[in-house]
Chains A and B, each alone.
Chain A
Amino acid sequence: MMELLLDRYIYVLVLVLLAIGLYGVLVKGDLVKKVIGLTIFSTAIYLFFIEGSLQEGGTAPVLLPDPENPGAYLNDPLLYVDPLPHLLILTAIVVGVGVVGVALALLVRLYRTHGTLDEAVIADRLAGKAPDIPSADERRDTFGVGDADDAGDGDA
C-alpha cells in the first residue's frame, strides 16, 4: 500500500487537488473562494497531463544524433518526453486564463452592485428576500433588465 502511494504519489496529489477544487466550488459560500477552487481544479488537470507525458530519463523531444552512425538520429521513443500533452496543456492554460478573466470581471460587477461577494446574501437580495436592496439595484432591477450604462461598466 505504502509503495503504491510512493510510486503514484503524483496521481494521489492530482486527486487531492481535484477534491479540494471541487469542495471549494461546491461548498464555499464566498464567490472569490469558488473561483479559487475552480483554478485549483483546473491546475490539477494540467498536472495530470504533464505527469502522464513524463519519461524517466527522457530528454526534450529534439532528435539526438546517433553517436555510432554519423548523420542518423536516435528514434527510440523512450529517449524523449512526449511533447503533445505539454502543447495541449499550454492551450488549456490559455483557455483557463480566459475563463478566470471572465469570472473576475463578473465578480467585479457583482461587488459594485451589491457591496458583498457572499453568494447567499446576493441570492437572497436578487430573490427580493433581503429588505436592504440598494436603491441603484432597485432601479436596475425593473424587468430584470439593465439600463443603458449597465452593459458598459461590467467589463464583461
Chain B
Amino acid sequence: MMMLLPLLFGAVIAVLAGLWRSAAAQVVAVITTAGTLVASVVGLVTVVADGPISYELGGWPPPIGIEYVLDPLSAYLAVIIALIGLLVTIYPVEAAFDLRPRKGVPLYPLVLLLLTGLMGVVLSGDLFHLFVFLEIYAISTYGLVSLGGDRGVFAALRYLLLGTIGSGLYLLGVGFLYFSTGTLNMADMAMLLPAIADSPTVLGAMALIVIGLALKMALFPLHVWLPDAHSYSPPGVAALLAAVQVKAGAYGLIRILFDVFGPAYTGEGLPVSVALTYFGLAGIVVGSVLAIRQTDIKRMLAYSTVAQLGYIGVGIGLATPLALVGALLHVLNHAVMKSGLFLVAGGIIQRTGLKSIPRFSGLGMRMPLTMTGFAIMGLSMAGVPPTAGFFSKFYLVWGAIELGNWLVAIVVVSSSLLTVVYFLRLFERIFVAEPTEDLVAQATEPSPRVVGTVAVLAASVLAIGLFNVVIVREILMPIAERMLG
C-alpha cells in the first residue's frame, strides 16, 4: 500500500504540475518514482527477512475483502518496476518521448499511471483486482504508444483491440473460477482448488487465463501486437514497455499457475506447461530470426523482446525450481538490458535522428561512452559470461538438462548464436566502419542525463552478472522452492 499511494498521488499532482509548467511534471514524476523505489527496496528486505505482509483494503478481512500481498516475488518485481520507472523519468523528455510536451499533454501522469497499474498487478492478492490493474496499465499504455506519431496511433489501436481481448479472456477465466469456488482471493482459492482440480470448469478457466495473459505478455504466437507497438512508440515508452510492462503478464502467469492452480497446473489435466515450453522455444527462434532481418534499430529490439520473452515462457513451462529461477532472473536481466538498449537508441535518435542500422557507421568514435554501454548490454543479450544475460540462460539450460529435456537446452544455447549475429552486425557498423554520413561525423555524445542513465543500467548489467549468486540464493531460490513445494 505504501508503494501504490505515492504513484497514484504522483499521477494526480503531475497532471496539475504539467498544467502549470511542463518541467514540473517531470520533477514530480522523479520524486514519486524515487520514493517508490525506496519503499520497494525496504519492502523487499523486510519480506525476505520476515515473511509476507498483507494489507486489507477498507478493513475487511481477506477472503471477503480485497487484499494486497507483498511477498518476496511481488517485492522483487516491484523493485524492478520502480527502478526502471525512475530511470525512464530521469531520462530527458525530448529524447524519451521524441517531443516536447506542450502544456496540458499528460505525459508523466500517463507514465505514473502505467507504473501504478504495474505495481497494482504485482501487489494484488485478488483475481478480479488484478484484472482492474491490468486494464489501468493497459489504458495508459495505449495513450503512451499513440504519442509516437501516425504509426504510433495505428499501432496503439491494434494493440488496444488485442490487449482488450486478452484481458477479456482472463476475466472470463476468472468468472469460471469464481462460479466453481465462490471466492476471488488468491490464497483462499488456492486452498479450495485442489479438491476440484480435475473438473472441466477449472481446466477451462486455466486455458482462458493462460491464453489471456500470454496475449498480454506477447508470448509467441500471440506476439503480433508487440513489434509495432514497441517500435513506433517513443524510445522512453518502448523502454518501459519492453522492460516492465510485458513482465506484468509474465508475473500474472507465474503467480496464477504456480500459486493459485498449483497441483492443477503441474498435474495431468491440460498440457499447459508443455504448450508454454514449446511456444516459448518457437518464440525464441522466430523472434531471433526476425530480429536479424530488421534494419530499423527499434524494430530489431522489439523482435528481440519477442525472443527474450520466449525464454521466460520456457522457464515457466519447465516448472522446475532451477528453470523458474532462470525465468525470474531473466525478468530482471531483460528489464535492465532492454530498457538500456532502447534508451541508447533514444540517445542516438536525439543526436542524429537516425534509426536505420546501415547508417550507424562510425558512431562508436563519436559517442564512445554511450556506445560502450550499448556494447555491454548487447553482449549481455547474447549471453557472454561475466554479464547478467549469461546467468539466466545458464539456469534455464541447467534446469532443462536436469529434466533431460535436451531440445530446450540445445535451442536456448544455439539461440545465443542468433543473438550474437544481430548484435555483431551492429557492433561492426558502430565500432569498425568509418563514418559515412555527415550526421554521424558531426554527432556528439548525448546529454549527460542520457549517458548517466545508460551508465547506471550498464553497470547494473555487470553487477547483476557478478552478484547473481546473492540474488538467486537470497531471493529467487526460496521463491521457486516455495512455489513448487
By a beta-carbon cutoff of 8 Å, the part of chain A in contact with chain B is 22, 25, 31, 34-35, 38, 41-42, 45, 48-49, 52, 84-85, 88, 91-92, 95-96, 98-99, 102-103, 106-107, 109-110, 113, 122-123, 126, 137, 140-141, 143-152, 154, 156
* A103-B154 Cα distance, complex, nearest whole Å: 10
Besides A92-B131, A141-B151, 7 other A-B contacts (C-beta < 8 A):
A45-B168, A85-B178, A95-B135, A106-B153, A143-B349, A146-B150, A156-B147
Q: What residue of chain A has the Cβ atom nearest to residue B156's Cβ?
A: A106
Contacts of A41 in B (CB 8 A): 164-165, 168
* A151-B149 Cα distance, complex, nearest whole Å: 8
* A137-B149 Cα distance, complex, nearest whole Å: 10
Q: What residue of chain A has the Cβ atom nearest to residue B180's Cβ?
A: A52
* A106-B161 Cα distance, complex, nearest whole Å: 12
- Which residue of B104, B128, B154 is within 8 Å of A126 (Cβ)? B154
Contacts of A34 in B (CB 8 A): 161
Known A42-B164, A42-B168, A52-B179; judge A102-B143 contact (CB<8 A): yes
A-B contact pairs, 10 of them (CB 8 A): A22-B165, A84-B178, A88-B128, A99-B135, A103-B157, A106-B156, A113-B153, A122-B154, A144-B149, A145-B149
* A122-B147 Cα distance, complex, nearest whole Å: 18
Contact B139 A99 (CB under 8 A): yes
Contacts of B152 in A (CB 8 A): 144, 146
Tell me what chain A mostly uses at the interface: helix, strand, loop, or mixed: helix
- Which residue of B105, B171, B172 is within 8 Å of A151 (Cβ)? B105
Q: Is B423 on the interface with A (CB-CB < 8 A)?
A: no
Q: What residue of chain A has the Cβ atom nearest to residue B159's Cβ?
A: A106
* A109-B179 Cα distance, complex, nearest whole Å: 41
Q: What residue of chain A has the Cβ atom nearest to residue B134's Cβ?
A: A95
Known A41-B168, A106-B160; judge A151-B147 contact (CB<8 A): yes
A92 CB → nearest B CB, Å: 6
Q: Which of B320-366 contact A (CB under 8 A)?
A: 349, 353, 355
Q: Which of B44-92 contact A (CB under 8 A)?
A: none
- Which residue of A92, A98, A148 is within 8 Å of B100 (Cβ)? A148
Contact B160 A102 (CB under 8 A): yes
Contact A148 B171 (CB under 8 A): no
Q: What residue of chain A has the Cβ atom nearest to residue B142's Cβ?
A: A102
By a beta-carbon cutoff of 8 Å, the part of chain B in contact with chain A is 98-102, 104-105, 128, 131-132, 135, 138-139, 142-143, 146-154, 156-157, 160-161, 164-165, 168, 171-172, 175, 178-179, 184, 232, 349, 353, 355
* A126-B450 Cα distance, complex, nearest whole Å: 30
Contact A38 B164 (CB under 8 A): yes
Contact A38 B104 (CB under 8 A): no
Q: What residue of chain B has the Cβ atom nearest to residue A147's Cβ?
A: B99
Contacts of A152 in B (CB 8 A): 102, 104-105
Contact A140 B149 (CB under 8 A): yes
A23 CB → nearest B CB, Å: 12
- Which residue of B148, B156, B172, B349 is within 8 Å of A45 (Cβ)? B172
B211 CB → nearest A CB, Å: 12
Contacts of B172 in A (CB 8 A): 45, 48
Contacts of B154 in A (CB 8 A): 110, 122-123, 126
Q: What residue of chain A has the Cβ atom nearest to residue B172's Cβ?
A: A45
Known A110-B154, A126-B154, A154-B146; judge A103-B102 contact (CB<8 A): no
* A45-B166 Cα distance, complex, nearest whole Å: 12
A88 CB → nearest B CB, Å: 5
* A137-B151 Cα distance, complex, nearest whole Å: 10
- Which residue of B102, B146, B349 is within 8 Å of A106 (Cβ)? B146
* A118-B156 Cα distance, complex, nearest whole Å: 16
- Which residue of A88, A126, A148, A156 is within 8 Å of B151 (Cβ)? A126
Contact B132 A95 (CB under 8 A): yes
Contacts of B165 in A (CB 8 A): 22, 25, 38, 41
Known A99-B139, A110-B157, A148-B100; judge A52-B175 contact (CB<8 A): yes
* A149-B147 Cα distance, complex, nearest whole Å: 11
* A42-B458 Cα distance, complex, nearest whole Å: 43
Contact B99 A151 (CB under 8 A): yes
